[in-house]
Amino acid sequence: MQYGSIGLTTMTDARRLYQQIADQVRQLIVNGQYPPGSRLPAERDLAQQLGVSRPSLREALIALEIDGTIEIRMGSGIYVLNAARPAVTGRSLGESPTELMQARAVIESAVIVQATAAMPTETLATLRDILVAMRSEIDEGRKPLEQDRQFHLIIAESAGNSVLSEIVASLFDERHSPMSDHMRGRFETPETWQFALSEHEAILAALEAKNPLAAQAAMHAHLTASGRRWVEN
Amino acid sequence: MQYGSIGLTTMTDARRLYQQIADQVRQLIVNGQYPPGSRLPAERDLAQQLGVSRPSLREALIALEIDGTIEIRMGSGIYVLNAARPAVTGRSLGESPTELMQARAVIESAVIVQATAAMPTETLATLRDILVAMRSEIDEGRKPLEQDRQFHLIIAESAGNSVLSEIVASLFDERHSPMSDHMRGRFETPETWQFALSEHEAILAALEAKNPLAAQAAMHAHLTASGRRWVEN
DNA sequence: GGAGAATAATTGGCTTGACCAATATTAATT
DNA sequence: AATTAATATTGGTCAAGCCAATTATTCTCC
Please state the separation of Cα A182 from the chain's center in Å.
17
Chain A residue closest in CA terms to B169: A88
Judge whether A116 lies within some domain. Answer: yes
Same domain, A167 and A204: yes
ipTM above 0.85, yes or no: no
Which pLDDT value is given to residue B232?
A: 60
CATH value at residue A164 = 1.20.120.530
pLDDT average, residue stretch A147-162:
86
Work out how many CB contacts closer than 8 A connect A with B: 136
For residue B70, the cross-strand partners are B80
Same domain, A211 and A135: yes
Contact B88 A167 (CB under 8 A): yes
Judge whether B12 lies within some domain. Answer: no
User: Alpha carbon of A126 to those of A14, A121, A138, B119, B123: distances in Å?
Assistant: 47, 9, 18, 41, 46
User: Alpha carbon of A201 to those of A124, A132, A135: distances in Å?
Assistant: 12, 10, 11
Contact A88 B170 (CB under 8 A): yes
Using DSSP's 3-state secondary structure scheme, residue A158 falls into: helix
Residue of B52, B163, B168 to mutate, testing the A interface (most A Cβ within 10 Å of its Cβ): B163
Same domain, A217 and A107: yes
Residue A84 C-alpha, separation from nearest chain B C-alpha, in angstroms? 12
**Number of Cα atoms under 13 Å in the Cβ half of residue B46:** 20
Cα–Cα dist B146/B133, whole Å: 10
Closest CA to A77 of A44, A28, A118: A44
Nucleotide nearest to A44 (CA to C1'): C11
Judge whether B109 lies within some domain. Answer: yes
Q: Which DSSP string do the residues of B181-225 spell out, in sequence order? A: HHHHT----HHHHHHHHHHHHHHHHHHHTT-HHHHHHHHHHHHHH
Name the residue among B18, B67, B99 with its Cβ closest to that of A89: B67
Q: Which segment of A39-53, A184-198, B106-120 scores lowest on mean pLDDT?
A: A184-198
Same domain, A156 and A129: yes
Residue bearing the bigger pLDDT, A11 or B99: B99
Last residue of a domain, one of A46, A80, A114: A80
- Per the CB < 8 A criterion, the answer to whether B126 and B154 are in contact is yes
Distance A78 CA to C6 C1' (A): 27
Same domain, B119 and B182: yes
pTM: 0.56
Name the residue among A62, A82, A114 with its Cβ closest to that of B18: A62
A91 burial type by CB count under 10 A (0-12 exposed, 13-18 middle, 19+ buried) = middle
Measuring alpha carbon to C1', the residue closest to nucleotide D11 is B74
B132 burial type by CB count under 10 A (0-12 exposed, 13-18 middle, 19+ buried) = exposed
Which pLDDT value is given to residue A187?
A: 55
Distance A42 CA to C13 C1' (A): 13
Cα–Cα dist A115/A159, whole Å: 4
Judge whether A7 lies within some domain. Answer: no
Name the residue among A18, A110, A178 with its Cβ closest to that of B107: A110
Judge whether A140 lies within some domain. Answer: yes
Q: What is the mean pLDDT of chain A?
A: 79
Last residue of a domain, one of B52, B80, B108: B80
Q: What is the 3-state secondary structure (H, E, C) of A15-56?
A: CCHHHHHHHHHHHHHHCCCCCCCCECCCHHHHHHHHCCCHHH
Closest CA to B232 of B192, B179, B173: B192
pLDDT average, residue stretch B162-176:
82
Cα–Cα dist B211/B112, whole Å: 10
Judge whether B91 lies within some domain. Answer: no
CATH value at residue A68 = 1.10.10.10
Give the model's confidence band at A109: pLDDT under 50 very low, under 70 low, under 90 confident, else very high.
very high
Same domain, B226 and B175: yes
Scan residues 37-96 of chain B and list those with Cβ within 7 Å of strand C.
52-56, 59, 73-76
Domain of A60 in residue numbering reads as: 17-80
Contact A159 B106 (CB under 8 A): yes
Q: What is the DSSP letter of B161?
A: -
User: Alpha carbon of B12 to those of B16, B17, B27, B160: distances in Å?
Assistant: 12, 12, 19, 46
Nucleotides of D under 7 A from a protein CB: 9-17, 19-23
Distance A213 CA to C4 C1' (A): 66
Q: Which helix (H) or strand (E) holds B70?
A: strand B70-73
Same domain, B117 and B193: yes
Judge whether B85 lies within some domain. Answer: no
Tell me phi and psi for residue B16, to 5 degrees. -55, 150
Last residue of a domain, one of A80, A112, A135: A80
Same domain, B171 and B219: yes
Q: Which amino acid is at A52?
A: V
Of chain A, the percentage scoring pLDDT greater than 70 comes to 79
Distance A77 CA to C11 C1' (A): 6
Q: Which amino acid is at B58?
A: R
Q: Diameter of chain A by CA atoms?
A: 67
Name the residue among A58, A93, A166 with its Cβ closest to that of B93: A166
Same domain, B101 and B214: yes
- Per the CB < 8 A criterion, the answer to whether A47 and A25 are in contact is no
* A-chain residues near B93 (CB < 8 A): 163, 166
Count the domains in chain B.
Answer: 2
Residue bearing the bigger pLDDT, A81 or B189: A81
Tell me phi and psi for residue B41, to 5 degrees. -60, 160
Give the model's confidence band at A177: pLDDT under 50 very low, under 70 low, under 90 confident, else very high.
low
Cα–Cα dist B159/B165, whole Å: 8
Same domain, B36 and B149: no
Same domain, A101 and A76: no
Judge whether A11 lies within some domain. Answer: no
* A-chain residues near B23 (CB < 8 A): none
Same domain, A75 and A103: no
Q: Which segment of A50-59, A72-81, A181-190 scores lowest on mean pLDDT?
A: A181-190
For residue A72, the cross-strand partners are A78
Q: Which helix (H) or strand (E) holds B80?
A: strand B77-80
Measuring alpha carbon to C1', the residue closest to nucleotide D8 is B75
* B-chain residues near A155 (CB < 8 A): none
Contact B63 A62 (CB under 8 A): yes
Cα–Cα dist A140/B191, whole Å: 62
Residue B136 C-alpha, separation from nearest chain A C-alpha, in angstroms? 23
